[in-house]
Amino acid sequence: MTGISFTAKAQIIPASLLNHLNYLGFTITGSPSITFSTAAEYQNGKASATLITVGIPVGVAWQVQVRATTLSGPASNTIDITKVILKANLSGAANVPLSTTNVTLATGVISLLSSYTVSVTMQGGAHLLKPSGTYTSTLTFTYTGL
């Protein structure tokens, strides 16, 4: 049995130090995990039952990016982080494969949206043929006011 878990944290990058009030309230909650226990799950992939919630300030143009650390497990084994897909529950949002460098997860323009959720799915396939155990990664979400 293989388990995959993520720790999510927030990082704020203000456009200017004088504009810091636009960045109050940016929060990330949720630590999704995925446990593979059947052959079908290993072959087809599986989504986490836990969603990540992203809270953003109201009424500003914004961009949220995400990056991940290496998905590491027992005995220095790793699983390809690009096989983990995030998707925001926003209209027009795309499936975003994780990377160890920042990728844009979502953007908004002068909206009353105050939060949205992000689903996490691990693709199935040969990349999961690793020793059993828990594989972990940290997701860093970066909020930038535009």
List the beta bridge partners of residue 66. Answer: 103, 141
Amino acid in the structure at residue 74: P
State residue 111's pLDDT score.
63
Of 141, 112, 144, give the one whose Cα is nearest residue 30: 141
Task: Return d(Cα 130, Cα 76) in angstroms, integer.
Answer: 11
Residues 65-105: tens digit of each pLDDT: 999 999 999 999 999 999 999 999 887 789 999 999 999 99
Residues 112-123: tens digit of each pLDDT: 667 788 999 999
CA 107 to chain centre: 15
Alpha-carbon distances, residue 86 vs 83, 103, 132 (angstroms): 10, 11, 23
Which range among 32-46, 47-61, 99-113 has the greatest average pLDDT?
32-46
The tokens for 59 are 């009424």
Task: Return d(Cα 37, Cα 9) in angstroms, integer.
Answer: 28
Has residue 59 got a pLDDT over 70? no
